Structure 1
Amino acid sequence: MNLHIELDTSHPAYAWLEQQADKIGARGHFGTHIDCYTSVPVQNEFHLPVHILDCRKGMPTLEEASALPSLKNQALILYTGNLYRNEYGSKAYFDETDTSVQNEVLLRILNKSPELILIDSYGIGQHGPIHQERDKTCESFGCYVIENIRIAPEEINTIHTIHVHFDLDYPSTGKPCTVTY
């Protein structure tokens, strides 16, 4: 089953992409993608067990992050419900739903050693510099963030392992990827 979103020229958000001066760079951050600002993973494919954290009522607190088990050789999915409730590219999706992870909470999560953090939203930080800093912090721990996955509520209990594939050589800090389970 796919967790990545498939967008074509008929999708309303595609108009944004066409307006960008750097279409290749923008395309890398369009739809489901892995952010790679300071480094890229050594492999272009991951097959990992997952731990899902239900964030529909709010992003993780320091206490919740502390209670997580070791995430070594695993992926952490932050399930917010944002992409399920709001259309990708809409104002509600990007501007009316805050899925930011506080820096101290992120550091606690990263100390649990996940290989990937996936989120069904636009990212783990507010747009702009904060967003990029959160991703760069993850990269400094050898962890990468995959944004804009789609999960339906009924799928939460059926996702145990994910398979991620992306092009390491895509010429952007965002690299489109597929995510399946």
Structure 2
Amino acid sequence: MPSTLLTDIAEAKITAAAGSGAQVAITHIALGDGNGANYGPSFSQTALRRERARKPIDKRHIVGSNAWRVKAEFGPETAAFHVREMGFFDADGDLIAIWAGNDVQARQTGAITYLVDHVLSFKRVGEGLIIVNAPDDDLFDLAVATGTAIANLNLEQLRQAGAIRAAHGDN
């Protein structure tokens, strides 16, 4: 199963940031073709096996404590290749996290827009030490807020209906 892991570089930067108020800020996503083959990522990697495209993260959304949903679009002008690896880089250009695996289902770029919609989760890292530095996904936030408001309204209506039935019977 493909996995996302923190690199040794990330661990060193996180250790340096701990207690200092500093953060490791992921800013870019890179796509690679794994040099033509799937592979299991390594903590010691400092780069993708063969990076083919890189761009800043378009949008981000916090989905939990130390978990970020990141989005990026690689347009149709992106060179055509099969994506077998993704790298998440900080502002210094260092590889912080890598996604790859021996059973990756490679997807093709080029000619159409290639969408990245990925959740980065850093459960073993102190809260706030790693962030995603990108614009907020306002549309996603609005959809979640609207869905929550509708669900709360429905729950209140059910509560009131139950109170009315209890007071006046089921008729």
Query: TM-score with structure 2 length normalisation?
Result: 0.25
Q: Larger relative CO (CA 8 A, sep 6+): 1 or 2?
A: 1
Structure holding more strand per residue? 2
Structure whose CA Rg is larger: 2
